[in-house]
């Protein structure tokens, strides 16, 4: 189930959705030069207090009665530790949550990045009223995707039209591939 | 190459379709996307449903829901008709999903052998 980084990130996106976020910003830096894949997920949801933040990444205190998030953060923390990276949560009640994590790009335990287009499509499909900004950056280029721009272009037509969902998936994957291309050649 | 320009065309096409149909789609196809569903393989099922609906223009919307309460039968796909009737398909995989769209949405025939009733009575093809 958690075979690639996209699935780990999707779990965190689902936390943001459950926290009532209206805007979720996902930034990914994918760099050979620095041997790092770093990502941050920032939302404007209801946030967590200090005690909850402490518990959030601990799988053994996970209980649906004490907090309404799953194992996503615990898994991501474990992944970051296994793959020579870092993990941090910063949250303010009423303002939102910022989750930052990184892994070594060339670490043997680091999974594939996975299908980010599909990940975004699934997340968008679960609630089209939430807006997303995706920023993907490599050593050579950058790709930015913003659902607010898409919605403006569509002027009232739903993002949930299947043709549009597929277009979103393909557009994101195409943009990411382009950002990966070494333009120095 | 995909570009933001595509969206204008897609918007017009979507509006045209709405006009032709006069008031929405006939079917609502709902996939259980809670942890139980995803663990059982609901993600590829959802993707296939969206793809098939887009390419073959089935008269339905595809949406997600949480846990339906029958985790042992996941992945579950529910089909709701316009008149409120509904069919629950269980242990769905991408191939079964494509057949459900073709026969149920396309031709109006319930795929009996994939339903929860068939699974319960042990006569299903699951």
Q: CB-based contact (8 Å) between B28 and chain A?
A: no
Give the C-alpha separation, A27 to B59, whole Å: 36
Please state, rounded to an integer, the average pLDDT across all residues of chain B.
88
Angle, helix B5-21 to helix A162-180, in steps of 10 degrees: 170
Q: Which two tokens stand for residue A80?
A: 């970051």
pTM over 0.90? The answer is no
State the residue for tokens 């790009």. A105
Element containing residue A144 per DSSP (H, E): strand A142-146
The residue length of chain A stands at: 185
Q: Rounded to 5 degrees, what are φ and ψ at A103?
A: -135, 160
CB contact under 8 A, B35 and A70: yes
Which residue segments constitute the domains of chain A, with CATH numbers given?
A: 5-180 (3.30.565)
- The three-class DSSP label of residue A141 is coil
pLDDT at B12: 87
pLDDT at B34: 87
Q: CB-based contact (8 Å) between B62 and chain A?
A: yes
Summarised one tens digit per residue, pLDDT across range B71-119 is 999 999 999 998 888 999 999 999 999 999 999 999 999 999 999 999 8
* Chain A: closest CA distance from residue B121 (Å): 30
Of B10, B33, B62, the CB nearest to A164: B10
Rounded to an integer, the average pLDDT of B12-26 is 74
**Closest Cα in chain B to A128:** B63
Rounded to an integer, the average pLDDT of B25-32 is 90
Three-state helix/strand/coil letters over B1-66: CCCCHHHHHHHHHHHHHHHHHCCCCCEEEEEECCHHHHHHCHHHHHHHHHHHHHHHCCCEEEEEEC
pLDDT at A65: 54
Q: Rounded to 5 degrees, what are φ and ψ at A87?
A: -150, 135
Of A149, A154, A165, the CB nearest to B50: A165
Of A122, A161, A174, the CB nearest to B46: A122
- Residue from A1, A4, A10, A31 nearest A99 by CA: A10
Of A70, A126, A162, the CB nearest to B54: A162
A-chain residues near B8 (CB < 8 A): 153
CB contact under 8 A, B14 and A161: yes
Rg over CA atoms, chain B: 16
Which pLDDT tens digits describe chain A residue by residue (185 residues)? 468 999 999 989 998 998 999 999 999 999 999 999 999 999 999 999 988 888 887 777 655 555 555 678 888 999 999 999 999 999 999 999 999 999 999 999 999 999 999 999 999 998 899 999 999 999 999 999 999 999 999 988 889 888 899 999 999 999 999 999 877 65
Q: Which two tokens stand for residue B49?
A: 């449903």
A-chain residues near B56 (CB < 8 A): none
Residue among A163, A175, A176, A178 with most chain B CBs within 10 A, to mutate: A163
Of B13, B33, B54, the CB nearest to A166: B54
Are the CB atoms for A33 and A139 separated by under 8 Å? yes
A-chain residues near B97 (CB < 8 A): none
pLDDT at B123: 66
Is residue B22 over pLDDT 60? no
**How far, in Å, are A14, A30, A73, A93, A161 from residue A41 at the CA level?**
11, 15, 11, 16, 26
């Amino acid at each position: 189930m958690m075979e690639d980084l996209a699935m780990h990130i999707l779990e965190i996106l689902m936390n943001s959705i459950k926290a009532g976020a209206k805007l979720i910003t996902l930034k990914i830096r994918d760099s050979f030069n620095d041997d790092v894949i770093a990502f941050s997920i920032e939302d404007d949801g209801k946030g967590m207090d200090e005690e909850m933040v402490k518990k959030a990444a601990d799988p053994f205190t996970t209980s649906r009665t004490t907090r309404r998030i799953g194992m996503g953060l615990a898994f991501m923390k474990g992944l970051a530790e296994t793959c020579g990276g870092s993990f941090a949560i910063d949250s303010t009640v009423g303002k939102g949550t910022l989750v930052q994590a990184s892994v070594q790009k060339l670490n043997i335990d680091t999974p594939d990045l996975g299908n980010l287009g599909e990940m975004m499509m699934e997340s968008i499909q679960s609630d089209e009223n939430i807006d997303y900004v995706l920023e993907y950056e490599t050593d050579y280029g950058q790709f930015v995707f913003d659902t607010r721009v898409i919605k403006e272009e569509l002027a009232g037509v739903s993002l949930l039209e299947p043709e549009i969902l597929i277009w979103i998936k393909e557009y994101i994957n195409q943009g990411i591939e382009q950002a990966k291309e070494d333009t120095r050649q | 190459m995909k570009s933001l320009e595509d969206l204008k065309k897609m918007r017009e096409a979507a509006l045209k379709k709405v006009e032709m149909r006069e008031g929405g789609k006939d079917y609502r196809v709902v996939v259980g996307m809670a942890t139980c569903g995803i663990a059982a393989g609901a993600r590829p099922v959802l993707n296939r449903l969206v793809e098939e609906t887009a390419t073959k223009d089935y008269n339905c919307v595809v949406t997600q829901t949480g846990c339906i309460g029958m985790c042992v039968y996941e992945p579950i796909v529910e089909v709701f008709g316009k008149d409120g009737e509904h069919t629950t398909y269980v242990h769905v995989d991408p191939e079964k999903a494509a057949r459900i769209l073709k026969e149920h949405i396309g031709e109006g025939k319930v795929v009996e052998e994939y339903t929860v009733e068939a699974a319960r009575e042990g006569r299903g093809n699951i």
